Amino acid sequence: MSLFRLPEDVLYLILSYLDFKSLIRLSQVCKKLYHFANGDAVWRKIAKDCINTGVTRQGTDLYSYISLKSRVRVSHNWAQGKCNKDALLKWKPYLLPWLQLDRDVLYLSQAAEICAYHLRTGRGKFQRNRFAVFSGHHGDVCRFVLTDTHLISAGCDGKIIVHDRGNDLSMEIFGHNQEVNCIDCKGNVIVSGSRDKSARVWTLSSIRTGECLNTIPTFDRVWSVAISPTICTFVTGTACCKDFTPLRIWDTERCQLVSCLGAEFRRGAGVLDIAYESPFQLLTCGYDTYIRYWDLRVCSRKCVMEWEEPHDSALYCMQTDGNHMIAAGTAHHGVVRLWDKRKTRCLRMFQLTSAISSPVYSLRFNTSHLYAALASSLYALDFNGTGPRARR
């Protein structure tokens, strides 16, 4: 029986069992098989098993406008460490920059300003001329977060500024007595954490924008916050200078303590970054050199997995692809590490600079590029081409 006599859905099912190399070879047989072998339905199973293809563990496709076949090809470059490194920007005074990536726009905080830069669509090339600037702070911007309509920044001056991304309107929010180290926003809820040993919950609703709903005394400096995807709870990460765990989950509405994560943190093991993957799963990293993976359905007293930074460096930031890959920025030599959650050893390591004291303060990636902000420079790793391999 001819292969082409089969119904299309049956043919797609058969092709979905082939591996990456077999599909590539099959697509070279004839035009009709080329058409079938390039369909996203055929590549979905392979894409879900690869790192950073944009297909999450729940099956959500984050980059549906890019073909799965091309994303799988680039994924192999990530796994093998094939990339080209480029220094996009350099500046003289040492800063504590923060990054956010929104499709083809890169947002970078530099001192008291947040600048927006265009990336060329499809190629990810950086446009050095900024097209928008968000300002208003009298000190350095510590963190900022993006929503569909707003850019919300937290600064050393103790202010929170809500910028409207569609126009030049902005609103200043006061409440913290010292620098606001971290901020997150989901829905109409903003959560901020400060050096003044408190976390505050604010509303972003059109009628009561900027109103403080609750203040939570944390009795320790707050370095990181993250709101759950359900918005019902949020997590605070503190400096771990007191006799309680630095990771605590709070009820967003009542602001009551729900649970504490972990029980054996060393003193000073502050949590610098937190990332939710689902309402029950989150990742944390910080001064104690570990990335920890928590599953709240299993146990809150102990993480289900952990990965230790091999060179005993603090971990300042991280990002997950929502499936298998974690990227983390370390405190020395501008080192970025890629981790595969299915493995215990580091997958790839990229050294961005030779200077010893060069922390990676922030990083963001999409399917083809990784951007890392150091104290005096912004670097990009391009995985589209066939650059030199990174060291393990």
DSSP string of 20-71?
HHHHHHHTTT-HHHHHHHTSHHHHHHHHHHSSSSSB-TT--BTTTTS-HHHH
Please check the confidence at residue 122 and state whether its pLDDT lies above 60: no
Of residues 38 and 191, more confidence is placed in: 191
What is the sign, positive or negative, of the torsion defined by CA atoms of 153, 155, 158, 161? negative
Are residues 145 and 152 in contact, defined by beta-carbon separation less than 8 angstroms?
A: yes
| Both structure tokens of 309 | 């930074």
Among candidates 164, 208, 168, which has minimal Cα distance to 188? 208
Please check the confidence at residue 383 and state whether its pLDDT lies above 80: yes
pLDDT class for 120, splitting at 50, 70, 90? Answer: confident
Return the pLDDT at 124. 52
Q: Give the mean pLDDT of the chain.
A: 90
Please classify residue 80 by burial: count the beta carbons closer than 10 Å to its beta carbon, then call 0-12 exposed, 13-18 middle and 19+ buried.
middle
| Both structure tokens of 301 | 């007293």
Please check the confidence at residue 183 and state whether its pLDDT lies above 80: yes
CA distances to 109, 139, 168 from 132, in Å: 12, 19, 10
Cα–Cα distance, 375 to 370 (Å, whole number): 17
pLDDT class for 244, splitting at 50, 70, 90? Answer: confident
pLDDT class for 390, splitting at 50, 70, 90? Answer: low
Cα–Cα distance, 57 to 263 (Å, whole number): 28
Among candidates 249, 238, 334, 244, which has minimal Cα distance to 287? 238
Express each pLDDT in 95-111 by its tens digit.
899 999 998 899 999 99
Please check the confidence at residue 211 and state whether its pLDDT lies above 80: yes
Express each pLDDT in 32-89 by its tens digit.
777 777 778 788 888 999 999 999 988 888 998 898 889 999 999 999 999 999 999 9
